[in-house]
Amino acid sequence: MLPCWKCGGEAEVNELHTGGKPLYTVACQKHYCGAYGAGSSSIQKAIEFWNTRPTLPVGRCGECAAYVDSKCANTGYYKSETGFCDDFAPKEDI
């Protein structure tokens, strides 16, 4: 499975009990992230939905063009160099 489209974390398949047949969905393992994919009655189809969604560029804050002096220029927040950047844009190779 592809990593999370929102934070870059690992994804997992979840089985939801709806009172009838189970419904499967793929979600980010980081519960605070909240990213999830479309549900399906098939595990394979749920994974396919997750893997075919558009992926945003995800990278570490220290590798982002907006990361200057331990601060994100996009949000104004101080961030760890090893954290993930929500508005990631890779630095130009020099």
Measured distance CA(87)–CA(45) in Å, rounded? 29
When pLDDT is cut at 50, 70 and 90, the band that residue 94 belongs to is very low
Rg (CA), the chain: 16
Measured distance CA(39)–CA(37) in Å, rounded? 6
pTM of the model: 0.56
What's residue 54's pLDDT?
Answer: 66
pLDDT in tens, 7-55: 888 999 999 988 888 999 999 998 788 888 889 999 999 999 999 866 6
In the chain, what's the furthest Cα-to-Cα distance?
A: 57
